[in-house]
Amino acid sequence: MKAIQLTAPALTAFRQAELPEPVPGEGEVLLRMRAATLNYLDVAIATGAFPAPAFPLVPVADGAGEIAALGGGVSGWRVGERVVPHFMPNWQGGAITPHNVAAMRGLTLPGSLAEYVAVPASSLVALPAHLDFAQGAALPIAATTAWNAVRSAHVRPGSVVLLLGTGGVSLFALQFAKASGATVILASSSDAKLERARQAGADHLVNYRATPAWDEEVRKLTGGRGADLVVETAGAATFARSLNAAAMGGTVFTVGFVAGTAASIDLLPIIVKALRVVGNNTGSVADLADAARAIAAHKIVPLIDRVYDIGETGAAYADLAAGGRHFGKLAIAH
């Protein structure tokens, strides 16, 4: 079968390869992969910022495809069904544990840039019927993370949600928050992206380049109250302002590190405002299933900026690594 391999921690180290087609074992299914989407995790692995146990590896955590064959003991699935495999198959549900996150597609397990992969049937979630494969491939990391963010703050009608940037997690959080009846404030450095976010449902827009004190602008927009949920997707450079932008009793849901991981934190806002600072490492198969059900119920369509051919894998990675170019997800089609 055809596959893409990452041979070293470098954005120039992708190669096309012919590999043996996997055979599904007991409790596994064989998937014919149709699309993948990139996350910053994939770029971190490809640049050495997130260490890989060994090279070469078949990259990309997230993907979608159709069942090509069933291994022994598999029930509840049939050949031809369109599905999304969770990228951490050990994490079926419940709290995070070392065992749950020990196995990861695109890192310790073959990822989505292969014609076929064998995965545990227990890691599968049905692809919502209204989505294509590229849209479905956006669900495992970005949609699950955004779903858990919205749930962590009990977002409901009247809630205020602040989102930073226009990456996959932020835009899924926008869609989930609007489906929950919340008011959404979105900050970006691009007026063009802000206009696209308005069309996607954002209520208030802040250009943080034109308004460096965007946290104060958020407080003005909310009558001094702040946001009930801040989805902190950037990291160290924005964390202090996210704390200031949060309402008393609010939640700062921190998932991103594109702006660094070493933040100097003033504890006083956390203490005085009784904030909840919640770290997140995506979520379980059960969380992905919940997110997919919400997407199906509300007919949410993931926002895909561009679909690359699998032969353009290096270009897709380079575009994501460059930052600031995309609106939503970058996908790779087989």
The per-residue pLDDT of the chain, averaged, comes to 95
pLDDT in tens, 91-148: 999 999 999 999 999 999 999 999 999 999 999 999 999 999 999 999 999 999 999 9
Total residues belonging to the chain: 334
pLDDT over 90 percentage in the chain = 90
Cα separation, 326 vs 200, whole angstroms: 15
Q: How confident is the model at residue 236 (pLDDT cuts 50, 70, 90)?
A: confident
pTM of the complete model: 0.94
86-90, 133-137, 223-227, 276-280: range with lowest mean pLDDT: 276-280
Three-class DSSP category at 159: coil
pLDDT in tens, 310-322: 999 999 999 999 9
Whether the predicted pLDDT of 225 surpasses 90: yes
Tell me the sheet residues that pair with 227: 246
152-161, 243-252, 320-329: range with lowest mean pLDDT: 320-329
pLDDT in tens, 286-330: 999 999 999 999 999 999 999 999 999 999 999 999 987 889 999
Q: What pLDDT does 330 receive?
A: 98
Q: What pLDDT does 268 receive?
A: 82
Cα separation, 253 vs 210, whole angstroms: 25
Class of domain 2-138+302-333: alpha beta
Q: Nearest Cα to 279, choosing from 149, 157, 184?
A: 149
Q: What pLDDT does 139 receive?
A: 98
Q: How confident is the model at residue 257 (pLDDT cuts 50, 70, 90)?
A: low
Q: What pLDDT does 260 receive?
A: 56
Domains 2-138+302-333 and 143-279 agree in fold: yes
pLDDT over 70 percentage in the chain = 97
Q: How confident is the model at residue 269 (pLDDT cuts 50, 70, 90)?
A: confident
- Sign, CA dihedral 145-148-149-150, equals positive
Q: How confident is the model at residue 238 (pLDDT cuts 50, 70, 90)?
A: confident
Q: What pLDDT does 233 receive?
A: 87
Whether the predicted pLDDT of 259 surpasses 70: no
* Domains in the chain: boundaries: 2-138+302-333, 143-279
- Rounded to whole angstroms, what are the CA distances from 21 to 37, 41, 72, 118, 196? 22, 26, 17, 9, 42
Mean pLDDT on 47-59: 95
Q: What pLDDT does 261 receive?
A: 62
More confident site: 281 or 70: 70
Q: What pLDDT does 16 receive?
A: 97
Domain range 143-279, CATH architecture: Alpha-Beta Complex (3.90)
